[in-house]
Structure 1
Amino acid sequence: MWTWFSRCVPGISLLLLIALLAVAFPDITRELSHLLPWSGKVPATKTPGHDHGTSHHPLHLSVAQKIFIGYTLLVHLNAATFVVRLAWALWRMTFAARALLRRRPATKCLRSPADPVMPPFADSPIITPISSEVSDPMSFDLGGLEDGEGGEVVHAIILPNYSEDLETLRTTLNVLASHPRAVTQYEIFLAMEQKEVKAPEKAATLISSFQGQFRDICGTFHPSGLPREISGKGSNVAWAAKHIVETRSDSSFDSRDVIITVMDADTHLSQDYFNEIRRIHWRDNTDADRAFYASPIIFDRNSNDVPVLVRCADLLWSFAGISAMYPGCAIVIPTSVYSLPLALARRVGGWDGDSTAIGEDMHMLLKCYFETAGDVITHVIASPASQCNISSPGDGNCGPYLSTLLARYRQALRHMWGALDTGYSVRQSVGGLSGKGSRRLRLQARHVALLHLLFEAHFLPCHLTVLLLFSALYTAFVPVAHIHPTLVWAFFITGFLRGLSFVGMNVCITLYDHWYSICIRSRANDMAKAGLNDTGFSFRKWNRLQQLAERICFPIAGTVFGSIPAIHAELSHFFTDKLVYRVSKKPTFTSPLVRSPT
């Protein structure tokens, strides 16, 4: 019963909010219920000066109405401060990205007469504003690191995949193999599903193609039918991680110096991501066994080819992660890509593969946090993970546009199914606060910050939508003269905060465009240097109609692919915690050249 109740906390909060509205405004909720298509009634039309249940505003607000005013102000203030925090994080992320690129050793200008082929953007000042030299991503030198940061690490990279296209996996591995340290430091684990018929064949093909380009490459196959486990990314990662633990049991490497990285099948990581982890690992080596690394995600591969609502939805998804990546943030929740030392993975008992871990990135961070009694340290890696937007070719029932929208909604539902992690956190918090010994959790500012991030992820989107919808209907059906002055004031303030947030989000998109430009130009240079021109590039220009449309459409995308699937998932959790994992269709790229926008 406790497990069921805790997993339903987000859904229960939604029902409580609706109950609060019904108790606080019984007359208007009765009128609004007539709007339901199955009510069979037509609501009376409100006209100024006529009494329809509320001839004048009450002299005193009820307790429920006071709670409503306080909560709606709190939610809208949270949304506004989220935008401020996001703007600060994007501003600092731009500086961090430039600093990371400067740490590459400078080489002769790529625009050398000796170069037969000019890499794109070689003359772009992506590293420093005044220099005839740019950093060569292929020339990273161990001696170039700061003093005291010597030594080496092994990167065990888990690439979970289920029914993914062979070319998608091949391209991802080509990008990793292009890193100069791949052959000596990267161990690739193709985490596959045993029930996928073609999985062994795909694994054999990839292993044969990339043998010798990595320190090691192998395939693992998650068996079907294991108790409490479901098919999906989380269970594939969990099974591959068990293999890593077994193979490293007698390794000469210290388990702190083996860094496990989990990424999506279509994710492209720069070598800067791994070099930055190594730098931080040796800089803070005394805390290396409890470090957790996370990076922002950026959809820079095919965003110009998908519907604007899909592009906006992924933009907001990226913003959700970046908003907690500002300097001094108490804790960072990863999105899709993250790394941690083998020592920490062993300490917490590895990954979970059951239905509650469908959002395995957030779930693993939470597990590390609670299993170490809040002792985990999170680091932001300023090298973004390049990802694709969902793109569906369509089928016999609907074309590519509608099919892509439906596929994005299914992906959003899977993302929001991660609200189960709120229930996990509730159970772990109660158990940790009442526990004893090394796992006893202290109620500290960091724990409050974590709970606040969970509130923003699993409560705020649907609560804000319900409050916004109710406020719009209430003010539309009730004349201002019949509304209590305090309520009028509350509706005005919340409307002002929404307008402020809209303007703030447009500022954030401007900051994002600047950061995006640095990232994609750096990646384009890297790929050209490696001879990989088929990885996909979507350049942004603020004055394009595509980008201008985002500044207006993002609230719609946030509702359709954020609030609605959140409500869908949270109400579904009353009945089940299982969701059938469906692979999202991603594009393949065959472009022979990398071109800058004109």
Structure 2
Amino acid sequence: MLGWVTRCLPGFSIIGLVLLLVCAFSDILKSELWKSYFPPSKNPAQGGFWGGMNIAQSIFVVYAVLIHIHMLGFTLRLGWSIFRATGKAKTALERRIWYTPLPSPQSEDEDYIQQPVSPISMSSVDSLISKNLKTDVTVSEVVEEELVHAIILPNYCEDLHTLETTLKVLASHPRAKLQYEIYLAMEQKEDTSSDKAGHLLSKFEKSFLHICSTFHPSGIKGEIAGKSSNVAFAARRIVEIHRDELNEDSCNVVVTVMDADTHLSRDYFTEIRRLHYAHLSEADRSLYCCPIIFDRNSHESPVLVRCADLLWGFAGLSTMYPGTMISIPTSVYSLPLSLAEKVGGWDSDPTAIGEDMHMLLKCYFETAGNVISRVVYVPASQCNVSSDRGHGWRRSMDTLFARYRQALRHMWGALDSGFAARRSLGYLRFHKRCLFLRPRHFALLELLYEAHFLPCHLTIIMLFSVIYTLLTPAAQMHPTLAWAFSVTDIVRGMSFVGMNICLALYERWHTLCLNARMRDMREANLPDTGCSQRIWYKPQYLLDRIAFPIAGTLFGAVPTIHAVFAHFFTDRLVYRVSKKPTFILDAVALA
């Protein structure tokens, strides 16, 4: 019973909000029974600011103002995060010196030749440091031992071309053959999974230190097909391979989980190595996360899809400002294999469908709230969903429906709020310690509220406010209610202006990251990875400045309401993969 109640918390909160509105503004207030329990003041002037209002109306006023202030606070935090991320990303992209032996000569029949990184002498390092460049490179960083990166590439019904392109990008990294272990996390029940795995293994077997495939069996009780179960199954294989190192407490393996269409820069792995050795005493409880950027096909996407993905990226980026107590990973993250084993690996039950946030929460509770989330300011490049059906408006409509299915899958992750509630209560019961007294726990709960409660609550209150003010003459409205509606209108306007400022800041960050990725693609001779520039004064991008509230409602609030009410009946969602675009040679991008 407790499990059902906690998983339905977001749904219960919506029901509670609707009941609050009914109690505050419906004719039920005219009944004598209601007035006997909650008598309003006979004269508004007698009670001052709250005079003439019942308890439900007072609660509504307070909550409406607070939730709008929260929305404005998110906007301010996001602007600060984007501003700081731009500077941090520039610094990280300039930090491209390290010591590594030259790769061994590759055979002539290899498809992808790695770009060698020449060893640098200690004198050259001293020279660079003495010039006070903004690279934060230290001598100890250059001579430290290397990490092994175990990269899990989960896929279920993904297009073969998408997987090939992702592996090509990874194979182009200078350290791929020396330090990258690739695990193709397949689903056994997919008819073509074996053929796809065989093709990819034969094509890339000489491009990495190690590459193999795992096949998550179907029909395991309590598990579902999808990213979380595929990752969990592949992670168990990684633990088996590195069991001796784990037993000897000498495991130098960092696990990275990514989406099938994600393109990671070589600087992402370099930054993890730098952060690992810069905070070595805390490395065994560090989880690394990075922003995501949709810079491959957004220029071809319908404006609402483009805005929805912008807001999805903003949600994660807003938690990654310097000094944040905890950051929420979106799609891509890394953690030491020792930490993953310590917390019992990845969950594969239905509640873990939001596998990125779920793994952070699991690490948080298993370490008694002491996990450290470190931000890697090198963004992961991703695609907007696409469609290959029809042309023109028919294709756009199909893309919109595909994006809604993806949004529903994202919002199904609201199950994590119930998971966090159960673990918080369980921690108090079994460990006799209250995590609620820690500021960090309050910060985590606030982020969960922001992700799974705020979008639908805000939308309901906004719609109600508009309808109520249209139907109620100003002369008949209580002065306090009129004040609340006036304040929330002003705050909404400020938030709209703030989001436009965030979009202006985003243009610079997007350009910086896109240019860096395209330079790498030119050097690696990979012309078909997609390039989506943002020219702010073009009409399609100016349209983003006014369309984002609509996109946020259609692909944020609506699927959240859809998901949380579905949770009253089931916690299982049929995992459907959204179509990704296929790119062709882009001569302009490579020029």
Distance 1:323 1:424 in 2: 23
Distance 2:419 2:97 in 1: 45
Higher helix share: 2
Instruction: Find 2:340's aligned residue among 334, 342, 345.
Output: 345
Distance 2:449 2:225 in 1: 28
Amino acid at match of 1:482: Q
TM-aligned CA deviation for residue 497 of structure 1 = 0.3
Task: Tell me what 1:325 maps to.
Answer: 320
Answer yes or no: is the 8 Å Cα contact 1:56–1:481 preserved in 2. no
Task: Tell me what 1:223 maps to.
Answer: 217
TM-aligned CA deviation for residue 541 of structure 1 = 0.8
Distance 1:498 1:351 in 2: 40
Task: Tell me what 1:506 maps to.
Answer: 500
Q: Deviations 1:19-39 (Å, cap 9, x if unpaired)?
A: 000001113999xxxxxxxxx
Amino acid at match of 1:286: S
TM-aligned CA deviation for residue 408 of structure 1 = 0.2
SS at match of 1:245: helix
Q: Deviations 1:97-121 (Å, cap 9, x if unpaired)?
A: 1111221249xxxxxxxxxxxxxxx
Q: Deviations 1:300-333 (Å, cap 9, x if unpaired)?
A: 0000001000000000000000001000000001
**Change beyond 3 A, Cα 1:12–1:137:** farther
Task: Tell me what 1:486 maps to.
Answer: 480
**Change beyond 3 A, Cα 1:2–1:397:** farther
Amino acid at match of 1:236: N
Instruction: Find 2:410's aligned residue among 396, 407, 415.
Output: 415
SS at match of 2:589: coil
Task: Tell me what 1:263 maps to.
Answer: 258
Task: Tell me what 1:4 maps to.
Answer: 4
- In the alignment, does 2:389 pair up with 1:394? yes
- In the alignment, does 2:130 pair up with 1:152? no
Instruction: Find 1:139's aligned residue among 108, 114, 117.
Output: 117
Instruction: Find 1:364's aligned residue among 355, 359, 363.
Output: 359
Instruction: Find 1:547's aligned residue among 531, 541, 551.
Output: 541
Identify unmatched segments of 5+ residues in structure 1. Answer: 31-54, 107-135
**Change beyond 3 A, Cα 1:594–1:556:** same
- In the alignment, does 2:313 pair up with 1:313? no
Distance 1:496 1:400 in 2: 38
Q: Deviations 1:510-543 (Å, cap 9, x if unpaired)?
A: 0000000000000000100110111000000110
Task: Calculate the aligned-residue CA RMSD, in Å.
Answer: 2.2
Answer yes or no: is the 8 Å Cα contact 2:527–2:590 preserved in 1. no
Distance 1:234 1:568 in 2: 21
Q: Deviations 1:259-313 (Å, cap 9, x if unpaired)?
A: 0000000000000000000001011111111010000000000000010000000
Answer yes or no: is the 8 Å Cα contact 1:417–1:570 preserved in 2. yes
Distance 1:305 1:562 in 2: 21
- In the alignment, does 2:588 pair up with 1:575? no
Task: Tell me what 2:510 maps to.
Answer: 516
Query: What are the within-5 Å matches in structure 2 for residues 226-245 of structure 1?
Result: 226-245=220-239
Answer yes or no: is the 8 Å Cα contact 2:214–2:234 preserved in 1. yes
Task: Tell me what 2:13 maps to.
Answer: 13
**Change beyond 3 A, Cα 1:396–1:146:** closer
Distance 1:293 1:179 in 2: 19
- In the alignment, does 2:57 pair up with 1:72? no
TM-aligned CA deviation for residue 591 of structure 1 = 1.8
**Change beyond 3 A, Cα 1:526–1:511:** same
Task: Tell me what 2:423 maps to.
Answer: 428
Amino acid at match of 1:24: A
Task: Tell me what 1:46 maps to.
Answer: none
**Change beyond 3 A, Cα 1:272–1:27:** same
Answer yes or no: is the 8 Å Cα contact 2:43–2:52 preserved in 1. no
Answer yes or no: is the 8 Å Cα contact 1:57–1:483 preserved in 2. no
Amino acid at match of 1:139: V
Amino acid at match of 1:528: R
SS at match of 2:334: strand
Distance 1:255 1:5 in 2: 43
TM-aligned CA deviation for residue 375 of structure 1 = 1.2
Task: Tell me what 2:85 maps to.
Answer: 93
TM-aligned CA deviation for residue 443 of structure 1 = 2.6
Identify unmatched segments of 5+ residues in structure 2. Answer: 31-41, 46-50, 99-113, 126-136
Distance 1:424 1:594 in 2: 48
Amino acid at match of 2:360: L
Task: Tell me what 2:109 maps to.
Answer: none
